[in-house]
Chain A
Amino acid sequence: MKSTALVRVAVIIFSILGLSLEAPTAKLQTEHTLAGEWLVTSSPINGQTASPKGVSLGFPDRDMVFEQQGDIRIGVVLREDVGHDVRPLGVWRVNGDQFSTTFQLWCPNEDGPCGSIVMRGRFVREDRISGTMTAFFDVFDDSTPTGYDSWTFSFVGNRTAAAASGGSN
């Protein structure tokens, strides 16, 4: 009778220890980060070649670098196809396997419309992402809920380099 009780207590203790030891591992496996370098390819949804108000974007491939320093998460698009100094800036966050990042468009021509990009996606794998992105242009469009001209894309991305040392925490 006593030995049965001891076995039960031992099983309970090992179960608790097992859970507490496994929990951090499980948490580590589900913690994703965008920190690092990604090659992201986008294509307009429904084959639209311009926004409803006729605004267009450039080359579909984007070399994107994401960094994290404490609570600050910054992203940069390396537009070396346009110029070495052309580096649109963005911000990002991750929630489980979902992520969101928002960039400002690079608009050297003050006469033309500018805008911002919101990307929403998920980690297919730790080194692969997919999702949709929406460009919100500074052009009024009363047919959209926001009142701004918008244009949607789908995208896939592959990690080409891990985060620099200390870049992610």
Chain B
Amino acid sequence: MNFLAAYFRNHLARALTVVVVVLAAASTAFSGNELAGRWTLTITFPDGPGSTTTRTQTVTLEVFPRGESLHGRANLTDGAGKRYGATWRQVGKRVSIAYELPCSGDTQCASLILQGRVKGGGIVIKKGSVIVVWDTPNNRNPALFDTSNGTFRGDRIE
């Protein structure tokens, strides 16, 4: 009997050690969900109001730490090397990133709001959603301007 009790005590101690290690690892992974860092975002949305043709924009997002604030700044660089500002907020794993798509010859102006969840210990945003607000007024839309929806994915670079 004493032998059996010692055997179970020994295994119980090992099992508790494993649980503690797993919990500590999970805690570390969760704290790594902060968006700050460099990301590649692949954003797909219609190429204009009411269009069924989509385009995919791949940008590099440099997210600056927000410190004690609820919000932070970020810079986007597109494939042509053009850089523009963005702003972000995060609660838990939920992040929102907003930026203005500048007007250019082949691109319609718009405001983009990206929403997603940081997963995988802070290295990926899968199946994020995008709200696109175009510059074309539309009194039939509750937003008073044409809107579209898109999707995005984020992959942490560093």
Contacts and interface: CB of A to CB of B under 8 A. Distances in A.
B103 interface: yes
Question: Do most interface residues of chain A lie in helix, strand or loop, or is the interface mixed?
Answer: strand
Contact of B131 (A85, A104, A148): A148
A124 interface: no
A78 interface: no
Given A138-B96, A147-B149, A148-B131, A104 B88 contact: yes
Contacts of B86: 91
Contacts of B84: 71-73, 91
A71 B86 CA distance: 11
Nearest to A141: B142
B40 interface: no
21 contacts: A71-B82, A71-B83, A85-B69, A87-B69, A89-B69, A89-B72, A91-B87, A93-B102, A102-B98, A103-B98, A104-B71, A104-B89, A104-B96, A110-B92, A132-B144, A134-B133, A136-B113, A138-B96, A144-B142, A144-B143, A150-B142
Interface of A: 70-74, 85, 87-93, 95, 98, 100-108, 110, 114, 116, 118, 120, 132, 134, 136, 138, 144-148, 150, 152
